[in-house]
Amino acid sequence: MSQRDEPLDSGFVSDIPKSRALFEQLRQFHWEYYSALAYLRSRVYDSLKTSLRDRAKPFVFSKWQRAVKYKYALEPLGTNGSLVDPGGRFNIGEIDTTRYPVFPALYVASDKGTALAELLGRTTSGTLLTPEEVALTKPDSIAAVSVSGHLEAVIDVCDGSDLGAFVALIKGFRLPSRLTSEARRLHFSIEIITTVPKLIEVLHAPNWREWPTLYDTPAASQIFGRISLDAQLDGILYRSVLTEKPSLAVFHQNFQNSSSYIELDDPAPPELVRRRLDSSNCNPRV
């Protein structure tokens, strides 16, 4: 899938209606594009889940970091923040709840700089500061905690060694000719992922928010997260686009009937809601 669209803005007021019409056409196109791929995935969905489940491995992490906005400080292991539109890289937020069921994820990073950068340091263009330094310059109130855990089934999307079977199932997808013709008319480039490196690139796309924010359709990484969740995986190991350090998207919903857990490392205030997530309190209904 291409992450580039034709610009909609123009220097003339008279072109505003035309730009608006083009934008609505692009939104409709993205919905049809998503629907076509969703149909193709549905035909091999069980196999897609199996391809990930068969390659998933246990993952143990110690003294990793989780940063949350201050309003979530009393529940640092909560996932409500991940449900806010558009969601996170590997989970679908409240984009359009009538079309795309929301599901949460809990994001942790291997070091504090990465955790802060992922939460606050997204904008670095036009500055010489690193993402971590950008995060530190922002005045937002946050809470950062040290966490450790053991996950029974994690898929690693960092180097692609576990993604070959998944790509083999989707590389033969063929889109309807009507859709490709419409893409040409709108000057929008579409493509089917046919290689592991391309899948890795798409899953780590810096501008993944473009699709859910502009066109109300999930990003490719969010769709991959949905498949991973349905495959009963506990998480996805990936690289932070901002720091290149390891990060985790954790699906605590799948801790039920497993030994997986994530917990705080340090003594916590008595008002804290949860210090540990495991099969006893993973809230599988979310």
pLDDT digits (tens, 9 = 90+) for 48-101: 999 999 999 999 999 999 999 999 999 999 999 999 999 999 999 999 999 999
Q: What are phi and psi of 175, to 5 degrees?
A: -85, 150
pLDDT tens figures, 143-186: 999 999 999 999 999 999 999 999 999 999 999 999 999 999 98
Host domain of residue 120 = 13-277
Number of independent structural domains in the chain: 1
Residue 230 lies in a domain: yes
pLDDT value of residue 200: 98
Q: Hunting for tokens 């939104």 — which residue is that?
A: 27
Q: What is the DSSP letter of 57?
A: E
Residue 2 lies in a domain: no
pLDDT tens figures, 137-150: 677 788 999 999 99
Rg (CA), the chain: 20
Residue 1 lies in a domain: no
Q: What mean pLDDT comes out for the span 279-285?
A: 76
pLDDT tens figures, 212-227: 998 999 999 999 999 9
Residue 284 lies in a domain: no
Residue 266 lies in a domain: yes
Residue 174 lies in a domain: yes
* Cβ-contact 218, 212 below 8 angstroms: yes
Residue 285 lies in a domain: no
Residue 200 lies in a domain: yes
